[in-house]
Amino acid sequence: MFLLVEILFKIMIKSNTKKESVTELKNLIKLQETVIDNIPVLQYCISPDGIILGCNKLVLKTLGYKNKNELIGKSLLTTIYAPSSFKKAKTLFLKWKETGNIQNEELQIKTKNGKLIDVLLNVNTLYDNNGKVLSSISTQLDITKRKKAGKTSKAMEGDKLLFDSKRSR
């Protein structure tokens, strides 16, 4: 946030005219939107009421939606989270409203066609100048492959123990 303020201050000092300042500000906003849209994690902005305000391209690609309008304005809990994670997601949403952040919580989300994806959720809060909550900014890291690899590894360890115990008889 401080970096953005510093950049805006430099733009205002550097620019000779108001028109140049506006142009540079628009370019900065476009750059910020490009970064958020292309960040390599699922990213959402959620209203204090739990409504999806925005998301990045990876959300659309991962969940199987064609455009942001299919998600914007819908309930985060019922649209994104799998039934198996609904209760935990609701509890975490209430925790976010109390504390302003969530860190490293495992949940399952669902694609448009019902496929389940394991994610690691992190949430922070965006405030206005008066300290009023504007929205959350949430990221979800897909950990599905990691979890499957962990289960496979545990199964292999179990098989090895069984094999070793039979061999020692």
116, 151: one domain: yes
Alpha carbon distance 137, 22 (integer Å): 26
Q: By residue range, what is the domain housing residue 104?
A: 41-167
The CATH code of the domain that includes 151 is 3.30.450.20
Same domain, 23 and 82: no
Same domain, 93 and 141: yes
Alpha helices in 15-63 (DSSP H): 18-38, 57-63
Report the pLDDT value the prediction gives residue 1, as an integer from 0 to 100: 44
Claim to verify: residue 107 and residue 158 sit in the same structural domain: yes
Both 88 and 148 in a single domain? yes
CB 37 within 8 A of CB 31: no
Average pLDDT for consecutive 10-residue bins of the chain (169 residues)?
56 65 72 79 96 96 97 97 97 97 98 97 94 95 87 54 54
Q: According to the model, what pLDDT value does residue 94 have?
A: 97
Asked if 117 and 147 sit in the same domain, the reply is: yes
pLDDT of residue 147: 85
Q: Are residues 25 and 58 in the same domain?
A: no
Number of domains in the chain: 2
Based on the fold, state whether residues 68 and 127 are members of the same structural domain: yes
Angle at 134 between CA 82 and CA 131, to 5 degrees: 130
